[in-house]
Amino acid sequence: MNDAAMRPLIDFLHRQFLMHRRELYGMALLTLLLGLWLGSSQLATHFFSKTLPPLTPPLLDSLASTLPSDGGNVSVHNKAKKFPSPAQELFDFDPNTATLAEWQRLGAPQWLAQRIINYRNKGGYFYKKEDLQKIYGFPQGLYQALAPYIKINPSNKPNSSVESQTNAFIRPSYKEDKSPLIIELNTADTTALKQLRGIGSVYARRIVHYRELLGGFHSVEQLKEVYGLPEETYQSMLPFITIDTAQLRRIRINEADAETLARHPYLDKRKAKAMVAYRLQHGPFHSIDDLKKIKVLSEEEVNKLAPYLAF
């Protein structure tokens, strides 16, 4: 609709409602759009509201004729392929001796045939036909098709030695304890120590660490000082360990400062400072007897420390 056609309507509205011409143009356009929308709704109702024709018997017959025929039985779900398949051969067989190729001829997929062969190679044996169903993934349909043809020959049954080997393969027995070599305690690393009964990685590391702090072991009884080492483990080690005291690292007592002395497990800072103070006051130590004169050291402590001191 052009401007000339709308002008008489605009003039009429202007006189009646005293509205601005621009407002009147907008109102007229809005009215026109509303009319078009209402008209289109009526048209849609007329053309698209028709109902479908009723399903009369002739119509149902017509629809049914378009469906594929399968002998009168239409399944909603695709059913699994039944055995035997067209390529399957059925013949008498022993599941304990059938080859890979024979299993495949019988209808077993390649992966299933290989799984059966692997089971037998590991010592597995089928004592009765139902044992086949123990094979993981063996299809029930295939088993039902093959069951009448399974003929197990009792003469193929493994003897007791073979069964023993099979059990060992399936359930490996624990390793027998090895008789360890004689271990020299001051030079053995953690690998050598782990040959001893009851010594694993943790205890082996603790023994080596404590040995380094001491400067070496001078007596097997010092193993009792290793943190957490059980008494029964200590006792079981005794027949298999020796100690070379030539491997001991000794502290030069007349040269070491308090900090060096305090690092030893048998000393602490207070005792180390007392030893240095005594040395500064009385001169160099000449023997263990000089250490026994230091009041903060007991005779037992001096005797334990003695193997690690060089005068």
Of residues 57 and 286, the one with the higher pLDDT is: 286
Q: Which of 265, 289, 261 is nearest to 275 (CA)?
A: 261
pLDDT in tens, 137-169: 788 888 899 999 999 988 777 664 444 444 433
Is domain 251-310 annotated with CATH 1.10.150.20? no
Rounded to the nearest 5°, which phi and psi values hold at 81? -65, 130
Longest dimension (CA), the chain: 137
Rounded to the nearest 5°, which phi and psi values hold at 87? -90, 0
* Mean pLDDT computed over every residue of the chain: 79
DSSP 40-89: HHHHHHHHH-PPPPP--HHHHHHHHTTSPPSSS---SSPPPPPSSPTT--
Query: What's the rounded Cα separation, in Å, for the pair 97 and 150?
Result: 11
Query: What's the rounded Cα separation, in Å, for the pair 231 and 122?
Result: 43
The residue ranges of every structural domain in the chain are 100-170, 183-247, 251-310
Matching CATH topology for 183-247 and 251-310? Answer: yes
Rounded to the nearest 5°, which phi and psi values hold at 309? -115, 140
pLDDT in tens, 1-17: 555 666 666 666 656 55
Output the pLDDT for position 95.
Answer: 92
- Is 234:213 a contact under the CB 8 Å cutoff? no
Domain 183-247, CATH homologous superfamily name and number:
AF1531-like domain (1.10.150.280)
Output the pLDDT for position 119.
Answer: 86
